[in-house]
């Protein structure tokens, strides 16, 4: 594709392969809960995203996956919360120590984010071209004409047909899948090194979801961008991501390579999530495996392991008392379970 050469910025420093592009350590995010009281939504979250890697941040509602990703973007304050502890290192710099303005400056050129509802993320009163051009003029300092040319180029990059015409259309003229492409174009226009995608395909039909996943995969191959893919859907993760970070009730409970986590999960919650994915032709007795109970809300996390009251492997006197730490179990793998050595958990089968 002709657009590829313009995506490599000459002034970009070569990436040091030994340090990851994004390094989140002990990230703790709190939200106000009454006067001078704070409730912890994300507690001590650590994970890495290497340059060019695609990492999934997986969890159900209330797990803290979105709060974590917004914290990486420096948007915690805008959502009313605060980063109480921990660091977000991007390219070797701790962003939490930077003045807010500088963190803001990194959004666009350093990292970009797309959301679940693309139609709501676009301004209905401006053409999509104007909106893409706005971001390149602001972040790359291009003039009006060059910015518009860049917008057309970007719409071509995300495989929107008749890009030169469609750049003058308004968001309402685009379908949900096409809007998500426009959002991706807008983010990619400034050559970010990290794309955070928060449930980008959840609101789309399955056939459209497939095309968006293909597009993200192509873009990654072309530009070498790192991807942090926030989702609840392990099926989508398997399509796209090399590594998986599973979150539950504000904590990372498992971290590892996608194939290892899927085939031999080391946390009962991961195993349960994998079992509850419906697949055509899999259920023999026409029942889905369910995890009993529900995710506790922030501030209502039980003592001991946060998952113990839903866990079929929990042992009284151990799991409900001791809070497990995220412990390395093998090279590049970690799990937060006290019984990790005793359990042989079921994953998916390759067939």
Partner 1 sequence: MSLLEVANLTKSFSTRRDFLGRRTGWTHAVKDVSFTLDAGECLAVVGESGAGKSTVGRMVLRLIEPDTGTVVFDGEDVRAAKPARLRAMRRGMQMIFQDPHSSLDPRMTVEDAVIEPLIVHTDLDRATRRARAQELLDKVGIGSRYLGRYPAELSGGQLQRVAIARALTLEPKMIVCDEPVAALDVSVRAQVLNLLRDLQEELGLAYLFVCHDLALIEVISDRVMVMRSGEVVETGTVDQIYTAPSQDYTRQLLDAIPVPVPRAARPAHPA
Q: How far is the CB of 144 from partner 1 (least distance, A)?
A: 35
Q: Nearer to partner 1 by C-beta: 111 or 337? A: 337
> Residue 42 class from Cβ within 10 Å (0-12 exposed, 13-18 middle, 19+ buried)?
buried
Q: How far is the CB of 173 from partner 1 (least distance, A)?
A: 14
Q: How far is the CB of 267 from partner 1 (least distance, A)?
A: 13
Pairing between β-strand 22-32 and β-strand 82-90 as defined by DSSP bridges: antiparallel
Q: Nearer to partner 1 by C-beta: 278 or 317? A: 278
Q: Nearer to partner 1 by C-beta: 83 or 252? A: 252
In 207-302, where do the E strands start and end? 226-231, 243-248, 251-257
Q: Nearer to partner 1 by C-beta: 44 or 235? A: 235
Binding residues for partner 1, rule: CB under 8 A, are 60-61, 176, 205-210, 213, 232-242, 258-259, 262-263, 272-274, 276-281, 283, 286-292, 294-295, 348-351
Q: How far is the CB of 109 from partner 1 (least distance, A)?
A: 30
> Residue 224 class from Cβ within 10 Å (0-12 exposed, 13-18 middle, 19+ buried)?
middle
Q: Nearer to partner 1 by C-beta: 206 or 331? A: 206
240 in helix, strand or coil?
helix
Q: How far is the CB of 155 from partner 1 (least distance, A)?
A: 23
Rounded CA Rg of the chain? 21
Q: How far is the CB of 25 from partner 1 (least distance, A)?
A: 27
Q: Nearer to partner 1 by C-beta: 149 or 215? A: 215
Residue 71: C-alpha distances to residues 41, 95, 113, 162 (Å): 11, 10, 12, 37
| Residue 319 tokens, joined | 């799991």
Q: Which residues of 277-306 are buried (b: 16+ CB within 10 A; e: fewer)?
A: eeeeeeeeeeeeeebeeebbebeebeebbb
Beta bridge partner(s), residue 90: 22, 93
Angle between helices 176-188 and 206-223 (to 10 degrees): 20
Q: Nearer to partner 1 by C-beta: 124 or 281? A: 281
Q: How far is the CB of 254 from partner 1 (least distance, A)?
A: 15
| Residue 269 tokens, joined | 């919650």
Q: How far is the CB of 22 from partner 1 (least distance, A)?
A: 21
Q: Nearer to partner 1 by C-beta: 167 or 197? A: 197
The Cα 197–Cα 65 span in angstroms is 11
The Cα 7–Cα 157 span in angstroms is 10
């Amino acid at each position: 594709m002709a657009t590829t050469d313009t995506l490599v910025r000459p002034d970009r420093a070569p990436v040091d392969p030994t340090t990851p592009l994004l390094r989140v350590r002990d990230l703790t995010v709190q939200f106000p809960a009454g006067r001078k009281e704070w409730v912890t939504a994300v507690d001590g979250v650590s994970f890495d995203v290497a340059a060019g890697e695609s990492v999934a941040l997986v969890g159900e509602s209330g797990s803290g996956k979105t709060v974590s990703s917004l914290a990486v973007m420096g948007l915690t304050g805008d959502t009313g919360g605060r980063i109480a502890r921990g660091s977000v290192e991007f390219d070797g710099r701790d962003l939490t120590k930077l003045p807010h303005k500088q963190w803001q400056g990194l959004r666009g050129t350093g990292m970009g984010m797309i959301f679940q509802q693309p139609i709501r993320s676009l301004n209905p009163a401006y053409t999509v071209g104007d909106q893409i051009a706005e971001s390149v003029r602001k972040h790359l300092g291009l003039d009006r004409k060059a910015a518009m040319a860049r917008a057309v180029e970007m719409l071509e990059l995300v495989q929107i047909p008749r890009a030169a015409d469609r750049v003058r259309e308004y968001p309402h003229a685009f379908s949900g899948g096409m809007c998500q492409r426009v959002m991706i174009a807008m983010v990619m226009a400034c050559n970010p090194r990290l794309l955070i995608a928060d449930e980008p395909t959840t609101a789309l039909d399955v056939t459209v979801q497939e095309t968006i996943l293909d597009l993200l995969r192509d873009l990654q191959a072309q530009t070498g961008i790192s991807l942090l893919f926030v989702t609840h859907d392990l099926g989508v993760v398997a399509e796209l991501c090399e590594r998986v970070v599973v979150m539950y009730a504000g904590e990372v409970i498992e971290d590892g390579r996608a194939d290892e986590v899927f085939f031999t999960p080391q946390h009962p919650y991961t195993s349960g999530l994998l079992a509850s994915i419906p697949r055509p032709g899999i259920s023999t007795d026409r029942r889905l495996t369910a995890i009993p109970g529900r995710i506790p809300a922030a501030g209502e996390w039980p003592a001991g392991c946060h998952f113990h009251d839903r866990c079929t492997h929990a042992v009284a006197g151990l799991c409900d008392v001791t809070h497990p730490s995220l412990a390395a179990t093998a090279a590049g793998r970690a799990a937060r379970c006290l019984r990790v050595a005793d359990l042989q958990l079921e994953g998916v089968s390759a067939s």
